[in-house]
Amino acid sequence: MIVSMIQLIFEIPDVVNIKEKRRIILSMKDKIRQRFHMSVAEVDLQDSLSFAQIGGALVSNSKVYGESVMNKVLTLIEQEIPVRIHDVKIHSEEF
């Protein structure tokens, strides 16, 4: 069993309150869940107004497949979500 993971730290420019930040993050998580059928959550920086950190995981039987899905998630965020990505980590582990 292979677990592939992605962790992103990003900036949400022009956010004026936490409610707006939460709306953007919820929309992002919903798009990722629906399109890629994987787990995703906001894992840190919840109190920051303009920064957020999300993590996602996918269980499969192939490291290549799992990491290709994580790269597609990154592409989706870059193209469809109005954020500036500061750090990305993609990793797979075998259990």
Angle at 43 between CA 67 and CA 27, to 5 degrees: 80
Q: Which amino acid is at 42?
A: E
Maximum alpha-carbon separation in the chain: 43
Q: What is the pLDDT of residue 45?
A: 87
Q: What is the pTM of this model?
A: 0.84
Residue with tokens 């992605």: 6
Q: Record the tokens describing residue 44, joined without a space.
A: 């840190």
Quote the pLDDT of residue 37.
Answer: 93
Instruction: For the chain, give the mean pLDDT.
Output: 92
Instruction: Name the amino acid, one letter, at 2.
Output: I
pLDDT in tens, 60-79: 999 999 999 999 999 999 89
> Which residues in the chain belong to E strands, given as ranges?
2-11, 39-44, 51-60, 84-94
What band does 14 get if pLDDT is binned at 50, 70 and 90?
Answer: confident
Which DSSP state fits 54? E
| Residue 10 exposed, middle or buried by CB count within 10 Å (0-12, 13-18, 19+) | buried
Q: Please tell me the predicted confidence (pLDDT) of residue 46.
A: 83
Q: Does pLDDT of 16 surpass 90?
A: no
Domain that holds residue 83: 2-94
Domains held by the chain: number: 1
The per-residue pLDDT for range 28-42, each reduced to its tens digit, is 999 999 999 999 999
Q: How confident is the model at residue 48 (pLDDT cuts 50, 70, 90)?
A: confident
Instruction: Give the CATH number of the domain where residue 66 resides.
Output: 3.30.70.1120
